């Protein structure tokens, strides 16, 4: 374990929390929510978001113990260390990535007080390059061979080079420059590329190839596939393709691309949405000024996450601690993120990666085996759709699922209608509050089928409207939550060895499909034969 810091197994506060977990606050007791000013008091604000958490199974004693835990584990100090460029990505005594973790530098570009000045300066240089490129697109300096403007961008990337950017694009669709659109190709399934390519006019399309390593099988395969299509349409790929990659990667070859942008070693894929990985696509779609608004929203939260040790005034910190309370003390295995905003429909998918790839770990930072539970299973879908699907289990199932609801007072677009005296947005918001209250309070009924036990905890994360600024803040709130929880569990949240083994085996199976290496790969070969219904050659072309 990192000897410098206490964690959930060594902090004194952990004992008080175990004791308090024996009798968590009963939300179903008469007057539990109304007889005090709990609803008004249990609110935490950071940037444009407020979190209402009266419907969690916490009281002042639990909050005080969580505060003590945060202090004893020096959570904000560790966050500050990360943001200032300390090497965080390591397992002591064992080979590991040994890197700084500085996704925060990609948005620490305003003013001259950057926490990691050299890295923020590099981020600023990339932004300047991007701004020039966007201006050239705007004023017609860069066009297709016919002198027409580019209207479309196809993003080719997978994992961290896809999920975050895609979910943010989906969230900010109404803010795009008129006439522009973005599409995404991620899966190596050729039908994914075929579907996207059938919907775009290649002559007006930029292809943005995004790969930090420049070696990812899916992305390189899809790059080749798209390039072949461009050539077949008589288009010079070098005049339509952009690259976002790590400096020195095999894709770092500016002559092959119309423009190349860099992301750096110290930015993890799943934390890279505010680097060039997300910024090239967002800059194209939203324009440079709105891209900056998005980055500002994230930066505002980072600053709070580093400087506010009071858990009642630091939203991501409280979100992380309540998450640990539910997961480690009340023993809930999953957490549902349920946005009451259709625009956020891909955000839970991004969080699944960011959270589960970061905190799905079983060893401490010193290489010793963990004896506590680390990252929960994260899942979710937008409301109200989910209400007509899996909420049955949330209300009456045997598995208790803590919920993080996300909602907005205003809708993004202009279309809304008053039906039976309320707008659609009001209906959406009413449902959001209703679900949170129903899960907490439950319902008594003499018919057991109609009885709701209650005591199902949730928080409500609310902002005025989903804009580039609030989206940046929301992204950074969740990134900080994940990072704090990693500190609490004393795990390395920043590598992803777990995804390597499957890649190695897939490479071995591909060799077999090519007719190579049969002798060395009995296990894979036998699976391949059975899967290919008796012959591996059925899978070969
Ligand atoms: C994220 C992971 C992983 C990565 C993809 C794509 O943190 O490392 O999801 O983003 O494997 O990697 P490249 O960007 O290198 O193609």
Tell me whether residue 12 is one of the annotated catalytic residues.
no
Catalytic residue among 218, 357, 479, 524: 357
**Confidence (pLDDT) at 2:** 61
High-pLDDT (> 90) share of the chain, %: 88
SS3 343: helix
344 — phi, psi (to 5°)? -95, 25
Identify which has the larger pLDDT, 291 or 93.
Answer: 291
What does the block give as tokens for 337? 């993120």
Mean pLDDT of 405-428: 94
- 269: CA distance to ligand 1 center in Å? 5
432 sits in the region (left: phi over 0; alpha: psi -120 to 50; else beta) called: alpha
pLDDT band at 235 (very low <50, low <70, confident <90, very high): very high
Residue 528 has pLDDT above 90, yes or no: no
pLDDT recorded at residue 366: 92
Report pLDDT digits (tens) over 487-524.
999 999 999 888 888 888 888 888 888 888 766 778 88
More confident site: 520 or 24: 24
Please state the atom number of ligand 1 nearest to the C-alpha of residue 358. 7
Ligand 1 atom, smallest distance to 219 CA? 16
Find the 54 Cα to ligand 1 centroid distance in Å: 38
Dump pLDDT digits (tens) for 65-108. Answer: 999 999 999 999 999 999 999 999 988 888 888 899 999 999 99
Q: DSSP string spanning 157-170?
A: --GGGTHHHHHHHH
Instruction: Write down the catalytic residue from 4, 445, 451, 503.
Output: 503
Beta partners for residue 338, in sequence order: 405
Ligand 1, atom 10: nearest CA belongs to which residue?
A: 160
pLDDT of residue 303: 98
Q: Residue range 221-245: average pLDDT?
A: 98
With a cut of 90, say whether residue 525 has pLDDT above it. Answer: no
Does residue 460 carry a pLDDT above 60? yes
Centroid of ligand 1 to alpha carbon of 263 (angstroms) = 12
Residue nearest to atom 5 of ligand 1 (CA): 159
For 142, 147, 188, 286, 294, the CA distances from 137, given in Å and listed in that order, are 5, 11, 30, 13, 21
Using the CB atoms, write b or e for 479-490: b if 16+ within 10 Å: bbbbbbbbbbbb
pLDDT band at 540 (very low <50, low <70, confident <90, very high): low
User: Comparing 45-54, 183-192, 382-391, 528-537, which segment has the lowest mean pLDDT?
Assistant: 528-537
Among this protein's residues, is 223 annotated catalytic?
no
* CA–centroid distance, residue 127 to ligand 1 (Å): 22
Give me the residue label for tokens 């691309």. Answer: 257
Q: What is the mean pLDDT of residues 28-51?
A: 96
**pLDDT tens sequence across 296-351:** 999 999 999 999 999 999 999 999 999 999 999 999 999 999 999 999 999 999 99
Asked if residue 539 has pLDDT above 80, the reply is no
List residues bridging with 50 in a β-sheet.
Answer: 45, 462
- Judge whether residue 1 has pLDDT over 80: no
Closest CA to ligand 1's atom 16: 211
pLDDT value at residue 519: 67
Cα of 187 vs centre of ligand 1, distance in Å, is 13
Residue 13 has pLDDT above 70, yes or no: yes
Distance CA 534, CA 419 (A): 60
Q: Which two tokens stand for residue 442?
A: 């439950």
Q: Which residue has the higher pLDDT, 39 or 499?
A: 39
d(CA 196, CA 26): 51
Q: Which ligand 1 atom sits closest to the C-alpha of 357?
A: 7
Residue of the CA atom closest to atom 11 of ligand 1? 159
The rounded Å distance from CA 29 to ligand 1 centre is 47
Please say if the pLDDT value at position 358 is more than 70.
yes
Ligand 1: which of 187, 269, 479, 500 to mutate, judged by most atoms within 8 Å of the beta carbon?
A: 269
What local confidence, expressed as pLDDT, does residue 438 receive? Answer: 97
Work out the percent of the chain whose per-residue pLDDT is above 70.
98
DSSP letter, residue 201: -
210 CA closest ligand 1 atom index: 14
Crossing angle (nearest 10°) for helices 347-359 and 163-171: 150
Output the average pLDDT for the chain. Answer: 95
Pocket of ligand 1 from Cβ distances under 6 Å:
158-161, 211-213, 216, 219, 268-270, 357, 496
Measured between alpha carbons, how far is 76 from 309 in angstroms, rounded to an integer? 6
Q: Which domains occur in the chain, in start order?
A: 103-294 (3.40.50.10490), 498-539 (no CATH)
Which atom of ligand 1 is found nearest the CA of 496? 8
* pLDDT of res. 523: 86
The CA distances from residue 239 to 230, 280, 281, 384, 472, in Å, are: 10, 16, 17, 44, 31
| Residue 526 pLDDT level (bands cut at 50, 70, 90) | confident
Q: What are phi and psi of 470, to 5 degrees?
A: -70, -30
Predicted pLDDT of residue 95: 85
C-alpha to C-alpha distance for 79 and 279, rounded to whole angstroms? 24
- CB under 8 Å, gap of 24 or more: what pairs does 138-142 form? 142/258
Out of 217-226, 282-291, 409-418, 523-532, pick the least confident: 523-532
Q: What residues are paired with 462 via a beta bridge?
A: 50, 407
Q: Give nearest CA residue, ligand 1 atom 2.
A: 269
pLDDT of residue 520: 73
In the predicted structure, residue 442 carries a pLDDT above the cut 80: yes
Rounded mean pLDDT, 424-451:
96
pLDDT at 537 over 80: no
If you measure from the C-alpha of residue 27 to the centroid of ligand 1, how many angstroms do you get, rounded to a whole number? 42
Whole-model pTM: value is: 0.96
What's the CA gap between 305 and 485, in Å, rounded? 13
Strand partners, 293: none
* Cβ within 8 Å of residue 369, ≥6 positions away: 362, 363
Dig out the tokens for 252 from the structure: 């770092």
How many angstroms separate the CA atoms of 384 and 170, rounded?
18
Q: At what angle do helices 75-83 and 288-307 cross, to 10 degrees?
A: 140
503 is catalytic: yes
Q: Which of 157, 167, 212 for a ligand 1 pocket mutation test, highest count of atoms within 8 Å of Cβ? A: 212
Q: How many CB atoms lie within 10 A of CB 413?
A: 8
The residue from 371, 388, 420, 519 that is catalytic is: 388
């Amino acid at each position: 374990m990192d000897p410098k810091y206490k964690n959930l197994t060594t902090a004194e506060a952990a004992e008080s929390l175990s004791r308090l977990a024996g009798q968590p606050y009963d939300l179903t007791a008469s007057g539990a929510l109304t007889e005090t000013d709990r609803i008004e008091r249990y609110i935490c604000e950071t940037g444009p978001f407020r979190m209402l958490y009266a419907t969690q199974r916490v009281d002042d004693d639990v909050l005080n113990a969580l505060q003590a835990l945060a202090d004893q584990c020096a959570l904000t100090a560790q966050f500050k260390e990360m943001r200032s460029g300390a090497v965080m990505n390591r397992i002591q005594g064992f080979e590991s990535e040994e890197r700084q973790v500085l996704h925060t530098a990609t948005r620490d570009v305003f003013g001259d007080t950057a926490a990691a000045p050299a890295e923020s300066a590099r981020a600023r240089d990339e932004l300047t390059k991007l701004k020039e490129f966007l201006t050239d697109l705007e004023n017609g300096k860069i066009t297709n061979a016919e002198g027409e403007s580019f209207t479309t961008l196809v993003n080719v990337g997978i994992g961290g080079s896809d999920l975050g950017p895609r979910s943010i694009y989906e969230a900010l669709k109404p803010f795009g420059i008129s006439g522009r659109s973005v599409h995404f190709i991620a899966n190596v399934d050729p039908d994914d590329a075929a579907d996207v390519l059938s919907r775009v006019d290649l002559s007006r399309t930029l292809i943005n190839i995004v790969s930090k390593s420049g070696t990812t099988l899916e992305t390189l395969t899809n790059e080749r596939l798209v390039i072949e299509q461009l050539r077949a349409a008589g288009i010079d790929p070098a005049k339509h393709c952009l690259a976002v990659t790590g400096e020195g990667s095999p894709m770092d070859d500016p002559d092959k691309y119309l423009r190349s942008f860099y992301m750096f070693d110290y930015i993890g894929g799943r934390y890279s949405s505010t680097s060039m990985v997300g910024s090239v696509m967002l800059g194209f779609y939203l324009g440079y000024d709105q891209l900056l608004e998005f980055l500002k929203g994230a930066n505002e939260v980072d600053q709070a996450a580093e400087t506010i040790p009071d858990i009642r005034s630091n939203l991501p910190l409280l979100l992380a601690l309540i998450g640990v309370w539910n997961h480690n003390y009340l023993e809930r295995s999953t957490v549902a993120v349920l946005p009451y905003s259709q625009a956020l429909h891909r955000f839970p998918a991004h969080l699944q990666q960011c959270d589960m790839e970061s905190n799905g770990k079983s060893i401490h930072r010193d290489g010793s085996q963990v004896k506590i539970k680390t990252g929960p299973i994260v899942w979710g879908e937008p409301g109200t759709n989910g209400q007509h699907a899996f909420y049955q289990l949330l209300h009456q199932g045997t598995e208790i699922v803590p919920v993080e609801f996300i909602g907005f007072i205003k809708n993004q677009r202009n279309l809304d209608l008053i039906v039976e005296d309320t707008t659609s947005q009001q209906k959406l918001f009413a449902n959001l509050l209703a679900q949170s209250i129903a899960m907490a309070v439950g319902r008594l009924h003499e018919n057991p089928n109609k009885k709701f036990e209650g005591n199902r905890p949730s928080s409500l994360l609310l902002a005025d409207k989903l804009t580039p600024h609030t989206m940046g803040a929301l992204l950074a709130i969740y990134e900080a939550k994940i990072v704090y929880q990693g500190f609490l569990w004393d795990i390395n949240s920043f590598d992803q060895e777990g995804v390597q083994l499957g890649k190695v085996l897939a490479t071995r199976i591909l060799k077999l499909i090519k007719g190579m290496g049969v002798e060395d790969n009995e296990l894979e070969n036998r699976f391949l034969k059975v899967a290919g219904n008796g012959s591996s050659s059925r899978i070969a072309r």
